[in-house]
């Protein structure tokens, strides 16, 4: 058997330590990586379900920079109880007392707690009902969304809850107020352990809350007890399984309510969501009537015409599944949205969708597109809506502040 031996000179020539070979291998690896990335974007598609335009913390940017501004005005209030404790934070350590008739400037409100201006303390918090404010259950769904045929004004919510921890802005005039109840030191911002975070989705033009979501710690108790704690009467759900119980069109003023279980435990719940308007409305009234694809400066742009045949309802933020074909060969599929579009009653709107593909190798005459509407958000139709202030209907009476803040 003949074995060809490689000379030492040849070994040096093909050594992997050679700078020429090393650079070549490096370039090959870069090209392979770039090809894999382009293949992924072209074939697998890009999912963009919830693009956030702005995520603004209260210590980073003033609220006046947003399109919707809520102001919590300072006001004077008088102690109505014989004596009242002053605490270092909501439901915190007692640091002093005040007596009936004392008048204070209220500089901040956090639901059932109020921070007063006091010469002896930097942080002086008192039980808000002792200052004459109505006692409110901030987890009451109708308090968050409004009652029958009415919407809750975000301005009235801020008057009671104070400014949010952060604000998140989405396309189509939607903005989310986020109230985080857990502080860095482990204390509860609102002086209660009943929830971890509250999120309210607001329609900017009408300034109305249309969706509420409550993260629980979790809640321990029966479905009946949870419904009672959020101000809803006990009734049979529309559907229920190991993960969630749904109530669709059952409660006045609340179109959809969902109770999410914690680890499929029927005595523990992790989250509550509520919709002011029924999600099922948009499939009935919105359809795609026209679609086309165009090349524009190296980009592929899809134009879809959406039509709303409802005379009463307004829809925003379409989310779409889009598939692009070139010469009947699929180029890619994407889930895009929500897009900045507002579809008024009995109207149509054209939505443009830039696609993340290289248009250089495509021919516009051979392009084709299919699109499916996945979701839209129902919002109040202006001016056919009413907002309401916080009413006693959403208040709850307790014998003491301790009982009021006790876990259900």
Convert the pLDDT of each residue in 274-311 to its tens digit: 999 998 999 999 999 999 998 887 889 999 999 999 99
Residue 7 is predicted with a pLDDT of 42
DSSP assignment of 154-188 equals: HHHHHHHH-S-SEEEEETTTEEEEEEE-B-TTS-B
Residues of the chain within CATH 2.60.40 domain(s) are 281-379
The domain at 281-379 falls in which architecture? Sandwich (2.60)
> What predicted TM-score, i.e. pTM, was given to this entire model?
0.76
The domain at 141-277 falls in which architecture? 3-Layer(aba) Sandwich (3.40)
CATH superfamily of the domain spanning 68-131: SH3 Domains (2.30.30.40)
Residue with tokens 């742009």: 301
- In angstroms, the CA 245 to CA 243 distance is 7
Residues of the chain within CATH 3.40.33.10 domain(s) are 141-277
Q: Per-residue pLDDT tens for 157-214?
A: 999 999 999 999 988 889 999 999 988 788 899 999 999 999 999 999 999 999 999 9
Give the 3-state secondary structure of residue 219. Answer: strand
Residues of the chain whose pLDDT is less than 70?
A: 1-74, 383-408
Residue 83's H or E segment, with its range, is strand 83-87
Structure tokens of 192? 């209660």
- In angstroms, the CA 182 to CA 356 distance is 39
Residues of the chain within CATH 2.30.30.40 domain(s) are 68-131
């Amino acid at each position: 058997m003949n074995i060809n031996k490689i000379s030492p000179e040849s070994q040096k020539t093909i050594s992997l330590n050679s700078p020429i070979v090393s650079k070549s291998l490096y370039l090959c690896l870069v090209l392979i990586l770039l090809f894999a990335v382009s293949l992924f974007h072209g074939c697998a598609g890009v999912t963009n379900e919830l693009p956030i335009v702005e995520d603004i913390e209260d210590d980073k940017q003033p609220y006046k920079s947003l399109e919707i501004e809520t102001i919590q005005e300072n006001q004077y209030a008088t102690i109505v109880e014989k004596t009242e404790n002053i605490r270092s934070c909501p439901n915190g350590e007692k640091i002093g007392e005040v007596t009936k008739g004392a008048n204070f400037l209220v500089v901040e409100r956090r639901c059932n707690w109020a921070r007063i201006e006091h010469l002896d303390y930097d942080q002086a918090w008192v039980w808000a009902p002792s200052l004459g404010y109505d006692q409110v259950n901030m987890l009451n769904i109708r308090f968050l969304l409004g009652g029958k045929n009415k919407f809750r004004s975000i301005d009235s919510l801020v008057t009671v809850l104070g400014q949010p921890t952060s604000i998140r802005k989405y396309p189509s005039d939607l903005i989310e107020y986020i109230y985080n109840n857990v502080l860095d030191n482990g204390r509860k911002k609102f002086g209660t352990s009943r929830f971890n975070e509250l999120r309210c989705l607001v329609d900017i033009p009408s300034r109305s809350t249309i969706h509420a979501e409550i993260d629980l710690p979790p809640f321990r108790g029966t479905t009946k007890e949870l419904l009672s704690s959020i101000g809803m009467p006990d009734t049979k759900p529309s559907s229920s399984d190991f993960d969630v119980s749904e109530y669709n069109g059952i409660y006045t003023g609340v179109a959809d309510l969902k109770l999410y279980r914690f680890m499929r435990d029927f005595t523990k719940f992790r989250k509550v969501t509520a919709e002011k308007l029924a999600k099922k409305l948009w499939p009935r009234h919105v359809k795609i009537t026209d679609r086309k694809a165009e090349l524009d400066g190296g980009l592929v742009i899809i134009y879809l015409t959406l039509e709303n045949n409802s005379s009463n309802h307004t829809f925003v933020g379409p989310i779409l599944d889009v598939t692009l074909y070139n010469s009947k060969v699929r180029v890619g599929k994407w889930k895009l949205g929500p897009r900045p579009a507002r579809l008024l009653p009995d109207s149509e709107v054209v939505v443009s969708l830039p696609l993340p593909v290289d248009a250089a190798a495509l021919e516009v005459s051979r392009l084709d597109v299919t699109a499916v509407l996945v979701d839209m958000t129902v919002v109040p139709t202006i001016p056919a809506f009413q907002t309401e202030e916080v009413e006693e209907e959403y208040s709850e009476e307790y014998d003491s502040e301790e009982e009021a803040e006790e876990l259900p």
